[in-house]
Structure 1
Amino acid sequence: MFGGFGKNNDRNNEPQTLSQAMQPDNPPRKGGGGGSLSNFDPEGLERAAKAMRELDKSRNATKAFEVIKTQEATKQHESAAKRAEMEAYSQQQRAQNIEREAEEARKTLDAQTQHERHRAEYQDELERKRQVDMLNAQKYMQEEQLKKQEEMAARQEEMRRKTAQYEAELKTKTEIAKAKAQSEGKIRQERENHDLILQKLRMEAAEQRDTVLKAVSDGGKMLGEGLASYLDDKDKLRNTALTITGIAIGIYSAKTGIGIGGRFVEARLGKPSLVRDTSRMTFSHLARHPITSMKRILGVGKNEQDALKGIVLEKGLDTQLRQIATSTAYTKKNRAPFRHLLLHGPPGTGKTMFARGLAQHSGLDYAILTGGDIAPLGRDAVTELHKLFDWAKTSRRGLLLFVDEADAFLQSREVSKISEDQRNALNAFLYRTGTESDQFMMVYASNQPSQFDPAVLDRVDEMVEFDLPGPEERKSMVVMYIDQYLLKPPGRWAKPVQTEDIGEAEIEQVVKETEGFSGRAISKLAIAWQAAAYGNEGAVLDRETFFKTVELHKKSMSTKDLWLEESKARAKMLTADA
């Protein structure tokens, strides 16, 4: 019944519905003026008509048609479901594409942000590096300029010294030649005029004898006549009395003036009681050493001394102190206000030696006092301090006032319990040092600078720490003091010490064993070596005595340190009880 329809399906290789079979393969297009029939296939229409006729003849035509409609509707539903599924899949793909695009955009944005951050960091690093390089370059240029200035100043100073030396030598030669020529001319003249001079002397002697005799005769006559006339004249007697009274008054006035002048000179040349040592001229020094004093007054043999002569220090500290010495010397030459220094560190590290060398290098006078001398003065401390600073201002060259153990006097008024006299003395000291001065320079030395009064620290312009010497400095000190006290001892009659089996290795061993020694302790060790050598016949120092002396010296130092700690503990207990 459906044979024709089935054959048609086989021919087309795919199932077709009735409506599909009835539709032509190439339907005409709309809007084409009736369309083109060149592609029209009449066989399909014939097959459809044939299938319709056979279907109409069948008894189950209605059912078949319903089945066909159902199949067609099912296929349409399936096609709609597929279209919906494809639409959903397309929407899902679009959503996924959007998500992927958003993720790619986010990654791209993150990459751009990270790149910008890296770029900014790199630029910042380059800028910092450029700034550091610029600062280093500026620092290098400043150091080079300062070095050139120092070298120029040193060259100028050397030229000045050479010029002054040449002028002095030339002047000396000229004076010697002049004196020699004058003496030779005078001798020649005396020899040539010997006879004339003798005749002249004889004539002068005869004339003088006659003159004296005549004067004695006339004087006797005049004296007798004058005395008689004087005694008869009352006015002359009255005038004589007045003259004698005036002479007495003049003598008394002269005596009083000499006393005042002496006190004035004493204020200029005398030494205040607080000063332990000074390079200024005093009456006692003038009396004991007149020749040296006159040379010093006239400036004969005056040479500039190295501020660090005989002092061994760490390289950085050495450079800092030399710069301070140079600046102080030029400050004095330019009459600028002096800068006050604080030298702090363990005892025996060269603070006092540097203060003396600084004064001599810069051309200043120096005066040394200790803080422990002020407290026992009591009420007189204020007066003595004023005398000290008045005396300091009279120095023609300027004065470097070195206060050793300054913490004993300049303790904090807020922490330490000090007496009223000490407080007044401290206030007087602060008053005299409160303003800058081009007449004196203060240098403080202390082992405990933390105890200073804040007002004293405010007056300090620069602080320098003297630490214990390191291995290299100790080695230099050992070699220097061995040469100074053993090989070339001071004194005209001192006998040099002969060393046996003492070489570089022994000196290195001593350097290791003197860890914690100060410069003063090493100098005392060298003196102990000298004493040990002089205790032997022939002044010989062998290796055994060399190291034995080191051990004894270390033991003595340990005992001293123990006593010092016990003393500090007792002082602390007494302070706590008070």
Structure 2
Amino acid sequence: MSNIDADALERAAKSVREIEKSRVAKQVFEMSKREADVKVAEAATKAEEHKAQAAAYLVEQEKTKWEEQRRTIKYNTEQSKAIAEYNAQMAKRQAEEENERARMRNREMVQMQAEADAKREALRRATEEEIQAERRRTDEHRAKLERENMRARALADAEGRIREQRENEDVFARQTKLRGEQDVKRVTEAINTTFKNVGDGFSAFISDGGKVARTVGAVALLAAGVFATREGARVAGRYIERQLGKPTLVRETSRSMGHFALRNRIARALGKQEEASFADVVLAKDLDKRIASLAVATRNTRKHAAPYRHMMFYGPPGTGKTMV
């Protein structure tokens, strides 16, 4: 109310009085009232607008305040996070450096331990080699002394035996002669006894005719049995070879039989190699093997005068291909 102008009120009151005196006072009053209502409404609207602006200003201030607080909190959080990350990186780097220093210390300790072990091993080997060398020298000296002692004993024994033989030469001669006579006598008696027994037995055998006949018959039968057994075994072996070693449709073959097959198996088992007939010929590996096999088969076939097998002959009909 302090802002209301008194002159304006006065003019308004004067205008109201003039309007009341006029003929259209009622219309004028209503118009004035409407204008006043409009102005009051405008004033109220402006007041509301002012209030809204003030509230918006307060809201904006509060928003700005909270935004500043949010930014401050965010900045503080980011700074704290950066500091924590920096501290973590520094701690990690410090731990890595400490681990690296520990590994270096461990490597140095291991190297020092290895060097110490190597020195101890070298010292032990040197000491052992020295002990072994001293032991070898001692053994060599002992062996030398033993050889010298044995030589001295052998010389002493030889000299003693020589001296004894010289002193008892006649006694040794008589003993040797006596032993020789005894040996001759014993051998002579054994020979006489043997011949006497053989002569008596032969005389008794000759005097008995039946025993002589039986003995001759037994010897003849034994010889006949040995001969029959040998020939029978030979015939049976040939029959078995002919039945088992030859195909039914082939009467002659180049396959080795009997001791030939055994000899070939033994040669193959011992690793006997065929002669390198194609040593100077350059061929493919498979072709070389096939030609070598064919050459060996041809050689064996010709050697045993057998028909050729596993070969294909070509020519016009009636030329004897199947008769080979």
Which category describes the TM-score, using the shorter chain as reference length?
0.3 to 0.5
Structure with the bigger percentage of helix: 2
TM-score between both structures, scaled by the size of structure 1: 0.26
The higher-RCO structure (CA 8 Å, 6+ apart) is 1
Structure with the bigger percentage of strand: 1
